[in-house]
Structure 1
């Protein structure tokens, strides 16, 4: 099969909500990401809610990075500027490679919705142990923007000229 005849390859995705206040019943951004992942044809490999604590975040994500059955990690929350927001500090040190373009593109497309407030978004992405990690803000709108405008295509082997499917472990 040539590259132009690529087929969709479902990936195993873990979703992590970073919040001191959300519960399984109130985790609407996590619910949104799970629905988008499954609607796209991927499988949900794990889901968890973790307090905004650097070491708890690193533990959960490190365990998922080491899990051969997880290829993608999506986080929601903890990317702002409040005192407890620590997702970038917690997770960037785990990356083997940083995907600088993700944060840049996210801010570019989100300016249409939230204007200059997008400068306060510290969303980021990286690769670690052949696992791609996307860290999104905690709002439903931000998660929808990130998934619909960037991540969905990048997790589809048919997207050209490039995508992350070939970078994650098989």
Structure 2
């Protein structure tokens, strides 16, 4: 039986930025970005920014800097580019900006992914941390991975983690 965390931050409405990193997706074909937004809204959070950018390190880093300066965003959720293919540069671009990392996020995400897809989970470089007093999550681009991360890890802990950053 899974232990549930204490509900010390329930009821908080947070504003999140959603960024899809893809060379091919459009707002109409971005199922993962749409899913993140739908799940946030269903959990009584708001989406304060939504972008699709190319998987280019400079573009990813510029987006982090721009959104990091936004005073109305509490968290940023990136999806796409976390694998090991040559065009998968999201992890490399984001990781160096993180002032604090949450190693448990990537560890738990890969564990939960392993339960669903087996040993292929080792190829995921999903990561989370803090930049400019904002929580950042970087997820794979697959809708199944996004749903898993959002439902099992991000949404249950989002308000608590943001409240810890804001102390």
TM-score (ref. length: structure 1): 0.91
Partner of 1:124: 127
Matched, 1:70 2:37: no
Unaligned runs of 5+ in 2: 1-5
Q: Give the alignment of 1:13-52 within 5 angstroms.
A: 13-52=16-55
Q: Alpha-carbon deviation of 1:62?
A: 1.0
Q: Is the 8 A contact 1:37 1:43 kept in 2?
A: yes
Q: Alpha-carbon deviation of 1:126?
A: 0.7
Deviation digits for residues 64-104 of structure 1 (CA, Å, limit 9, x no counterpart): 11111111000110000111000111011111101111100
How many equivalent pairs are there? 162
Find 1:97's aligned residue among 82, 97, 100.
100
Q: Give the alignment of 1:74-153 within 5 angstroms.
A: 74-153=77-156
Aligned mates of 1:113, 1:98 — CA distance in 2 = 25
**Closer/same/farther in 2, CA of residues 59 and 7 from structure 1, 3 Å limit:** same
Q: Is the 8 A contact 2:9 2:163 kept in 1?
A: no
Pick which of 27-36 and 58-67 moved more.
Answer: 58-67
Q: Is the 8 A contact 1:13 1:46 kept in 2?
A: yes
CA RMSD of aligned residues (A): 1.5
Matched, 1:155 2:152: no
Q: Alpha-carbon deviation of 1:168?
A: 3.9
Partner of 1:60: 63
Q: Is the 8 A contact 1:68 1:169 kept in 2?
A: no
Find 2:15's aligned residue among 12, 17, 26.
12
Q: Is the 8 A contact 1:130 1:167 kept in 2?
A: no
Aligned mates of 1:123, 1:6 — CA distance in 2 = 25
Q: Alpha-carbon deviation of 1:169?
A: 4.3
Partner of 1:164: 161
TM-score (ref. length: structure 2): 0.92
